[in-house]
């Protein structure tokens, strides 16, 4: 026998009307409870006595903390603890009882429901499998609403496969919303039951809550002609396969987990403030930050293309900033015939037409000395001809009378640069797709000659670069973007420009000129020339930024979406733009998952993004897929059951919380199914 003391008001609540609560507790556990004043005496089976003592102690503590209880809530708690002795009364009213939005309190009604709630709290991916009426979908939506209102996630996504009883969306009347609403009605009902209708409507309008058929979840696509950066260079989206690698936001390769052709879709050209652009569908996802979010140190949001149309600017500022590479793209180091910094100097102020010996023009003795030192391995030296002109001469003749080859010319010839002039120079691919050190070195050579820091009053200085070669302009932009920077450019036409002067005579311009304004990450030094480096360090180089400038519909084309293994789900597409197809910081519910195909289920699961929580619900006894097609839920159960981070919770007929008839119906079908299994040969 055990004794416990409770306040008088607590005893009144505990006993209930006509002692109904106390009698119920005695009926489900082998105990007898006697009251004398404030003291309760518990007698019965030792294990049951200990269980009741824990119940009453938790009840007393919670009551003293100001909690209130209804008779039904108490009896539900007693029943669940009797079913599972590891479960505590306090857990029932703290972990398994919650008020998602302040409108309606939710509590687990069965031990399995309680396990389900705790599994969702403790795991990023939870499967709830069992018959209808067990609260799988409703509790999942309640947990999603709680996570949203507690600011644990930024959005809720509720989805269902639109396949029931063989019906097709195209044959249903009305517009798209009318067609999909019948499939999604149970999810809408749960939302409106938990949250005020006005709030739900506003969140649906702002896409904080997104309700869509599963088929539309996968439609976040780019055109097949979109370029993706890989460890070996650009490849078209249409050429990509599962297992291939693309470059992620950290500059490192990340594996492609899924490839999903989308067929023809309307696509938009998304153009950035630096002139870069790519093509994507209306549902394609973008990680963006606004000025307000940066000021308040809030995390980035994920928006669809269509959510930003016509909303690019706020006052005089662009609204949506995209992320840039957090580190230079990592390509393997490759031996090159000419040291990269010296090649940058030659591309800037060198003459390599091949008609005469290579030469270099500069007024900076520091540059001439640097070039001579860098080219020393090629056995060439600089000989000054005029105040600014240097001839790059080859090594002396051999003793036998033969001539030593000009190794600089040999290297230029190997790179196809010998014979180029100021308008046709370019950076060879072996330098563009090389290690970050090589790319930085050749960029420094170009900027030390034809570039420089431009001071701006009250602001950081920008880097300016000029060239008459359009290809060289494109190559420099490639270098800058591959290092995590941005480059804006403009063209000055040769025609109509005021002539320059040389030796006191006017010299007309022969070629158009291209001027670039460059911003690089702070850890990258753009200059080696001391006078330029000093200015840049004194005034700073600012921060590279890229904003969305315009989105315009361009037509319809074949599209495809992919999912990648990177934690932030970002990958590099055209012009080193970072984009992704995965759902970050979201609470995602896939309802009626028994009607997914294996491919749909894999697509859905590989979309799970960083900071997201996912719940998958379904009843494997109610599969409506065409005959012979396997259920994605059953396949996931078979493939994923041994992964410890994934929790499977199984409901039975005992967990049905709808009308009592539902429980009897489920039981009857289970018995019939068992008989059929027994009769099979």
Whether 333 is covered by a domain: the verdict is no
Give residue 175's pLDDT: 43
Tokens for 333? 């180091």
637 φ, ψ (degrees, to nearest 5): -60, -40
Query: Are 566 and 532 members of one domain?
Result: no
Assess whether pLDDT exceeds 50 at residue 212: yes
Give residue 395's pLDDT: 65
Query: Are 135 and 103 members of one domain?
Result: yes
Give the residues across from 126 on adjacent strands. Answer: 615, 647
What phi-psi label fits residue 233: left (phi over 0), alpha (psi between -120 and 50 degrees) or beta? left
Q: Collapsing DSSP states into helix, strand and coil, what is residue 165?
A: coil
Q: How many domains does the chain have?
A: 4
Q: Which of 94, 127, 145 is the last residue of a domain?
A: 94
Whether 360 is covered by a domain: the verdict is yes
Assess whether pLDDT exceeds 60 at residue 9: yes
Question: Which one has a higher pLDDT value, 243 or 582?
Answer: 243
Q: Which of 49, 75, 94 is the last residue of a domain?
A: 94
Q: Spell out the residues 6+ positions from residue 453 whose beta carbon is closer than 8 angstroms to its own.
A: 461, 462, 463, 464, 527, 532, 535, 536, 539, 541
**How far is residue 236's CA from residue 224's CA, in Å, rounded to a whole number?**
6
Query: Are 496 and 370 members of one domain?
Result: yes
In this prediction, residues 157-185 reach a mean pLDDT of 56
Query: Are 593 and 656 members of one domain?
Result: yes
Assess whether pLDDT exceeds 50 at residue 168: no
Whether 41 is covered by a domain: the verdict is yes
The CATH number given to whatever domain includes residue 16 is: 3.30.1370.10
Query: Are 209 and 303 members of one domain?
Result: no
Whether 391 is covered by a domain: the verdict is yes
Q: Do 247 and 572 meet the contact criterion of CB atoms below 8 Å apart? A: yes
Assess whether pLDDT exceeds 90 at residue 582: no
Evaluated on CA atoms 466, 469, 472, 473, the torsion sign reads positive
pLDDT band at 472 (very low <50, low <70, confident <90, very high): very high
User: In the predicted model, what is the mean pLDDT of the chain?
Assistant: 86
Query: Are 435 and 532 members of one domain?
Result: yes
Give the residues across from 559 on adjacent strands. Answer: 223, 263
Give residue 398's pLDDT: 45
In this prediction, residues 596-619 reach a mean pLDDT of 84
Query: Are 56 and 11 members of one domain?
Result: yes
pLDDT band at 162 (very low <50, low <70, confident <90, very high): low
**How far is residue 211's CA from residue 188's CA, in Å, rounded to a whole number?**
8
Give residue 164's pLDDT: 45
Assess whether pLDDT exceeds 50 at residue 174: no
The CATH number given to whatever domain includes residue 575 is: 2.170.16.10
Whether 678 is covered by a domain: the verdict is yes
What size, in residues, is the chain? 681
**How far is residue 453's CA from residue 527's CA, in Å, rounded to a whole number?**
9
pLDDT band at 160 (very low <50, low <70, confident <90, very high): confident
The CATH number given to whatever domain includes residue 597 is: 3.40.50.300
In this prediction, residues 348-361 reach a mean pLDDT of 93
In this prediction, residues 579-606 reach a mean pLDDT of 83
Give residue 172's pLDDT: 44
In this prediction, residues 344-350 reach a mean pLDDT of 96
Top mean pLDDT of 199-213, 638-652, 660-674 is at: 638-652
As a whole-number percent, the residues of the chain with pLDDT over 90 amount to 46
In this prediction, residues 602-612 reach a mean pLDDT of 76
Q: Spell out the residues 6+ positions from residue 527 whose beta carbon is closer than 8 angstroms to its own.
A: 444, 447, 448, 451, 452, 453, 533, 536
Assess whether pLDDT exceeds 80 at residue 670: no
Give residue 258's pLDDT: 80
Give residue 230's pLDDT: 96
- Residue 378's domain comprises 340-539
Whether 330 is covered by a domain: the verdict is no
Give residue 409's pLDDT: 93
Question: Which one has a higher pLDDT value, 179 or 289?
Answer: 289
Give residue 166's pLDDT: 40
Give residue 364's pLDDT: 94
pLDDT band at 171 (very low <50, low <70, confident <90, very high): very low
Query: Are 533 and 422 members of one domain?
Result: yes
pLDDT band at 167 (very low <50, low <70, confident <90, very high): very low
Task: Give the tens place of pLDDT for each residue, 49-83.
Answer: 999 999 999 999 999 888 888 888 898 889 888 88
Whether 331 is covered by a domain: the verdict is no
Query: Are 570 and 532 members of one domain?
Result: no
Query: Are 616 and 533 members of one domain?
Result: no
In this prediction, residues 296-324 reach a mean pLDDT of 85
Query: Are 354 and 448 members of one domain?
Result: yes
Task: Give the tens place of pLDDT for each residue, 433-449.
Answer: 999 999 999 999 999 99
Give exposure, 114-132, as e/b (b: 16+ Cβ within 10 Å): bbbbbbbeebebbbbbbbb
Query: Are 200 and 255 members of one domain?
Result: no
Question: Which one has a higher pLDDT value, 190 or 650?
Answer: 650
The CATH number given to whatever domain includes residue 424 is: 3.10.28.10
Structure letter (DSSP) for residue 101: S
Whether 332 is covered by a domain: the verdict is no
Q: Do 118 and 96 meet the contact criterion of CB atoms below 8 Å apart? A: yes
- Range name among 295-299, 549-553, 611-615 with the lowest pLDDT average: 295-299
């Amino acid at each position: 026998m055990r004794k416990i003391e409770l306040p008088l008001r607590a005893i009144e609540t505990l006993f209930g009307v006509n002692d109904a609560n106390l009698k119920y507790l005695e009926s489900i556990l082998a105990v007898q409870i006697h009251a004398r004043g404030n003291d309760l005496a518990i007698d019965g089976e030792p294990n049951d006595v200990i269980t009741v003592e824990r119940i009453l102690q938790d009840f007393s503590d919670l009551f003293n903390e100001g909690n209130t209880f209804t008779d039904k809530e108490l009896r539900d708690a007693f029943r669940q603890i009797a079913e599972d002795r590891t479960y505590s009364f306090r857990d029932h009213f703290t972990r398994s009882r919650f008020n998602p939005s302040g409108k309606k309190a939710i509590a687990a009604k069965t031990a399995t429901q309680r396990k389900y709630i705790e599994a969702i709290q403790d795991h990023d991916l939870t499967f709830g499998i069992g018959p209808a009426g067990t609260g799988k979908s409703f509790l999942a939506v309640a947990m999603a609403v709680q996570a949203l209102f507690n600011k644990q996630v930024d959005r809720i996504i509720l989805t269902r496969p639109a396949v029931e009883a063989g019906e097709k969306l195209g044959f249903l009347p009305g517009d798209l919303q009318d067609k999909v609403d019948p499939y999604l009605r149970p999810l809408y009902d749960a939302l409106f039951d938990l949250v005020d209708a006005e709030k739900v409507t506003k969140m649906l309008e702002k896409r904080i809550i997104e309700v869509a058929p599963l088929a539309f979840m996968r439609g976040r696509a780019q055109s097949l002609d979109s370029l993706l950066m890989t460890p070996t260079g650009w490849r078209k989206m249409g050429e990509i396969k599962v297992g291939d690698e693309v470059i992620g936001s950290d500059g490192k390769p990340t594996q492609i987990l899924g490839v999903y052709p989308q067929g023809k879709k309307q696509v938009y050209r998304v153009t950035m403030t630096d002139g870069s652009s790519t093509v994507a569908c209306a549902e394609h996802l973008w990680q963006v930050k606004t000025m307000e979010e940066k000021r308040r140190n809030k995390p980035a949001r994920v928006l669809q293309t269509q959510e930003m149309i016509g909303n690019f600017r706020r006052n005089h500022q662009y609204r949506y900033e995209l992320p840039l590479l957090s580190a230079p793209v990592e390509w393997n180091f490759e031996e090159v015939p000419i040291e990269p910094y010296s090649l940058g100097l030659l591309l800037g102020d060198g003459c390599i037409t091949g008609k005469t010996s290579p030469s270099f023009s500069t007024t900076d003795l520091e540059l001439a000395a640097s070039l001579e030192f860098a080219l020393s391995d090629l056995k060439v030296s600089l000989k000054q001809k005029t105040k600014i002109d240097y001839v790059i001469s080859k090594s002396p003749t051999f003793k036998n009378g033969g001539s030593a080859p000009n190794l600089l010319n040999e290297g230029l010839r190997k790179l196809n640069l010998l014979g180029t002039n100021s308008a046709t120079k370019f950076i060879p691919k072996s330098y563009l797709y090389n290690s970050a050190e090589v790319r930085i070195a050749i960029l420094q050579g170009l900027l030390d000659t034809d570039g420089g820091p431009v001071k701006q009053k009250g602001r950081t200085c920008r880097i300016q670069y000029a060239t008459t070669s359009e290809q060289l302009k494109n190559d420099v932009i490639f270098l800058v973007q591959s290092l995590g920077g941005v480059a804006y450019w403009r063209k000055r036409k040769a025609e109509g420009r005021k002539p320059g002067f040389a030796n006191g005579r006017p010299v007309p311009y022969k070629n158009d000129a291209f001027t670039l304004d460059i911003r690089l990450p702070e850890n990258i030094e753009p200059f080696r020339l001391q006078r330029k480096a000093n200015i840049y360090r004194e005034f700073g180089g600012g921060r590279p930024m890229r904003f969305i400038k315009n989105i315009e519909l361009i037509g319809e084309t074949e599209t495809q979406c992919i999912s990648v293994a990177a934690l932030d789900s970002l990958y590099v597409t055209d012009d080193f733009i970072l984009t992704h197809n995965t759902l970050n910081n979201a609470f995602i519910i896939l309802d009626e998952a028994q009607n997914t195909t294996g491919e749909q289920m894999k697509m859905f699961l590989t979309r799970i993004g960083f900071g997201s929580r996912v719940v998958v619900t379904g009843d494997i006894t109610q599969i409506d897929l065409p005959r012979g097609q396997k259920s994605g839920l059953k396949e996931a159960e078979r493939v994923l059951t041994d992964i410890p981070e994934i929790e499977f919770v199984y409901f039975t007929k005992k967990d049905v919380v709808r009308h009592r008839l539902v429980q009897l119906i489920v039981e009857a079908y289970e018995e019939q199914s068992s008989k059929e299994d027994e009769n099979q040969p």
